[in-house]
Structure 1
Amino acid sequence: MLAADPRASRGRRHAEDDRASRGPRDAFQRDRDRIIHSVPFRRLRHKTQVFVAPDGDHFRVRLTHSLEVAQIGRTMARALGLNEDLTEALCLAHDIGHPPFGHAGEDALQAAMADAGGFDHNAHTLRLLTRLETPYPRFDGLNLSWETLEGLAKHNGPVTGPLPWALAEANEGFDLALESWPGLEAQVAAIADDIAYDNHDIDDGLRAGLFTLAELLEVPLVAEAWAAVRARYPDEVEARLAPELVRELIGRMVNDVLGETERLAAGLSSIAQVRDAGRQLAGFSPAMAAQERLLKQFLHARMYDAAEVKAVRVEAQAILTRLFETYRADPGLLPEPWRPGTGDQVAVDRRIGDFIAGMTDRYAVRQYEALNGPTPIRERF
């Protein structure tokens, strides 16, 4: 009753001829497949998750993070009786609007585009999927279903107040009911994102030597999980148990979300009631949420704000800032398909932002060096 039904979808912005459908797929399966086959999804393999152009082959990038989010999201959707295909589509696409260099790149574009409405990666996800990606002959965008676009627009919950310009543009003429909570599939995708990056950043942080296991065990949630792992494998060396610790933490978080969601959604009989509930229904219990906040605080202090990570982030921001300034001074330097056809500065700035946001980390470095000369970050590629 609370699962999204593709047969009851609110449809797509552009009507499509059902005779052109390929294979026995419903609306949400087609959405997922369109995302997987899109160019922006492929570019995620060379976009930063935490480490800029990671030196090792075993660290996460945006693509591997999105796949891991999808695995966790599907597991929870199946356990809760939700639509797995819609959940997977939302998980796979949730980061597709990220610019190069992760949040550092987003901050640089936000500052560079301040006079043009700024930049928001979540809003840019909608812009990519509804306008910029053009694999179909009769319309711009991937023409995804209303439910998929709604879930992506509300990845962080209802959107109130002034809308980011890119989100307002995507919402115009195809109202995504931004003021309400999304369906449970979108809520599950959002919490799966939190679970994935919390735990896989533990793995990457330990692998990179940014903190030790002993330091990590100062976090109560991790200490409890480690005690359970040690009880199961009392004679195993610590190095073999770090992956088991991550699995234990993921399992604890997933089980907590399942129990809390079932408790909060008990008695609801329709998706409309989910949207009108006025609160998040799929998420951590208050106790787990408090423990997860402590884990995030540790990761911010020891990983995201680590001196070596911040130093590269500063270099990355300088690259995008200078790239934007260079293209703004001479838009003719943009590749021909990207050159703005108007003298309006806001439109020009947004066009430049679109082009830069679509770059991978390494392509941004190559473009910078072609226009401005060497950068210290080159040695990482």
Structure 2
Amino acid sequence: MSELARWACDPGQSRGRLHPEPGDIGGLDLRGPRDAFQRDRDRIVHSISFRRLRHKTQVFMAPDGDHFRVRLTHSIEVAQIGRTIARALGLNEDLTEALCLAHDIGHPPFGHAGEDALRAALAGQGGFDHNGHTLRTLMQLEHPYPRWPGLNLTWEMLEGLAKHNGPVRRPAWALAEADAEFPLELASWPGLEAQVAAIADDIAYDNHDIDDGLRAGLLTLEQLLPVPIVARSWQAACTRYPDVAAGRLTGELVRGQIGAMVNDLIDETRQRIAANGVGCVEDVRAATGALVGFSPAIAREERELKRFLYANLYHHPLQLAAAGVAATVIGGLFAAYRAAPEALPPAWRESLPASDPARSRHIGDFIAGMTDRYAIARYRDVVGPIDPPEGL
């Protein structure tokens, strides 16, 4: 790794872990020469919740096609973009990668449709928020270690996951519980690594959802070209390869657009760091706004692209039909387990709290950890038949 900038998070200066571990002394691990942030990354990669992302919705529910993104492949793509940006800005690449890989671990099955359904099911018990559930999963529900719950990640890792989208003024119950256990200074901005992870996520799904939407036949190039940022990237691809058929240029469109967004982000972020006189990571946390971001022009175009994707892809009739199935499955499972907790697996049934809100949240934890296909299978077992839309 290249030398860290003054405003990067330094593993040697970490605020530590909730449960101190001897391996962090001197920045080395007794199980190998890894610093604290490298250990965080490796704990994510080896976790059960990370493995489950391979069968959780990104855009398409339980896709039949092997070429569509799922949460796992999306998270890996976010990490690639995040590391590229971190390296250019002199940030800690390992922490950035760990944040990128972990940022979607709290998502329930069926993507945002599943989250909406689980939030509705838990409305009387504090609701559900995938970001808070990421912290809950990594601090409590994962339990590979003999002496404490959770993965025992560093403060910087947990801080970055809690507020990678910016300060959190009114945390919901799951994030509030995490903060009470290990205070994360929710009212301040996170380190630059977390800010990079947040926008690397945007860059990844802005562009890869175009790729998947075209592949699925839910989008057409003709629909996309009125969007300015897409039109410019398409023209650049056609200019570079004037003798190549249009059908072969989709990948070049997506690659070129990612590159343009990344380059703009790096230039704009360098200017913001300089303009704000940032000299250390605490200056980042004390800033009055985000230091990582697009230039005003690209930010406007990126918002326009998002509006297009919501209108034409995420709210496509086939996607809305799939969202209806998600609501049926999540709502049905929650009601069934509330009415008949003996249907829960033994470990979950034996640890079921006696009263609410803990009882309902415990059932919510079980459902949130499900993959798409496991949720559908359990629905058929405990509720009844269901026919998801073909191919989704």
Scaled to the shorter chain, the TM-score interval is over 0.9
Aligned-residue offset at 1:155: 2.0
Distance (Å, rounded) in 1 between the aligned partners of 2:216 and 2:51 = 25
Contact between 2:188 and 2:286, CA under 8 Å: does it hold in 1? yes
Distance (Å, rounded) in 2 between the aligned partners of 1:34 and 1:159 = 26
- Residue 345 of structure 1 is aligned with which of 349, 356, 361? 356
Deviations 1:248-278 (A, max 9, x none): 1000100010011000001310111111111
Distance (Å, rounded) in 2 between the aligned partners of 1:131 and 1:240 = 47
Distance (Å, rounded) in 2 between the aligned partners of 1:313 and 1:341 = 29
Distance (Å, rounded) in 1 between the aligned partners of 2:265 and 2:63 = 31
What residue number does 1:311 align with?
A: 321
Aligned-residue offset at 1:379: 5.4
Contact between 1:365 and 1:378, CA under 8 Å: does it hold in 2? no
Change (3 A) 1:290 1:277: same
Aligned-residue offset at 1:173: 3.1
What residue number does 1:321 align with?
A: 331
| Corresponding residue SS for 2:357 | helix
Question: Quick check: 1:210 aligned with 2:221?
Answer: no
Distance (Å, rounded) in 1 between the aligned partners of 2:163 and 2:285 = 11
Deviations 1:343-378 (A, max 9, x none): 212111000000000000000011000112210118
What residue number does 2:3 align with?
A: none
Letter in 1 for 2:7: L
Aligned-residue offset at 1:143: 0.2
Question: Quick check: 1:70 aligned with 2:75?
Answer: no
- Residue 120 of structure 2 is aligned with which of 107, 111, 128? 111
Distance (Å, rounded) in 1 between the aligned partners of 2:136 and 2:45 = 17
| Corresponding residue SS for 1:377 | coil
What residue number does 1:372 align with?
A: 383
Question: Quick check: 1:86 aligned with 2:91?
Answer: no
| Corresponding residue SS for 2:388 | helix
Aligned-residue offset at 1:380: 4.5
Distance (Å, rounded) in 2 between the aligned partners of 1:351 and 1:52 = 24
Distance (Å, rounded) in 2 between the aligned partners of 1:270 and 1:182 = 13
Contact between 1:225 and 1:245, CA under 8 Å: does it hold in 2? yes
Distance (Å, rounded) in 1 between the aligned partners of 2:119 and 2:51 = 24
Letter in 1 for 2:97: E
- Residue 272 of structure 1 is aligned with which of 282, 285, 289? 282
TM-score, normalisation: structure 2: 0.95
Distance (Å, rounded) in 2 between the aligned partners of 1:175 and 1:197 = 31
Question: Quick check: 1:187 aligned with 2:195?
Answer: yes
Question: Quick check: 1:332 aligned with 2:331?
Answer: no
Measured on the aligned residues, the alpha-carbon RMSD in Å equals 1.2
What residue number does 2:258 align with?
A: 250
Letter in 2 for 1:146: W
Contact between 2:352 and 2:362, CA under 8 Å: does it hold in 1? no
Contact between 1:210 and 1:306, CA under 8 Å: does it hold in 2? yes
What 5-or-longer segments of structure 2 have no aligned partner? 1-5
What residue number does 1:11 align with?
A: 16
Q: After the TM superposition, which segments of 4 or more aligned residues of structure 1 sit over 3 Å from their partners?
A: 378-381
What residue number does 1:34 align with?
A: 43
After TM superposition, list the pairs within 5 Å mapping 1:205-244 onto structure 2. 205-244=213-252
Letter in 1 for 2:104: D
Aligned-residue offset at 1:330: 1.5
- Residue 173 of structure 1 is aligned with which of 181, 205, 218? 181
Deviations 1:62-98 (A, max 9, x none): 0000000000000000000000000000000000000
| Corresponding residue SS for 2:147 | coil
Distance (Å, rounded) in 1 between the aligned partners of 2:269 and 2:356 = 47
Query: How many residue pairs were aligned?
Result: 380
Contact between 2:118 and 2:127, CA under 8 Å: does it hold in 1? yes
What residue number does 2:134 align with?
A: 125
Contact between 2:321 and 2:389, CA under 8 Å: does it hold in 1? no
Letter in 2 for 1:375: I
What 5-or-longer segments of structure 1 have no aligned partner? none
Distance (Å, rounded) in 1 between the aligned partners of 2:388 and 2:220 = 26
Contact between 2:353 and 2:362, CA under 8 Å: does it hold in 1? no
Deviations 1:14-53 (A, max 9, x none): 0112297311000000000000000000000000001001
| Corresponding residue SS for 2:385 | coil
Distance (Å, rounded) in 1 between the aligned partners of 2:241 and 2:147 = 59
Distance (Å, rounded) in 2 between the aligned partners of 1:138 and 1:123 = 23
Contact between 1:127 and 1:166, CA under 8 Å: does it hold in 2? yes
Deviates more, 1:30-39 or 1:52-61: 52-61
Aligned-residue offset at 1:283: 1.0
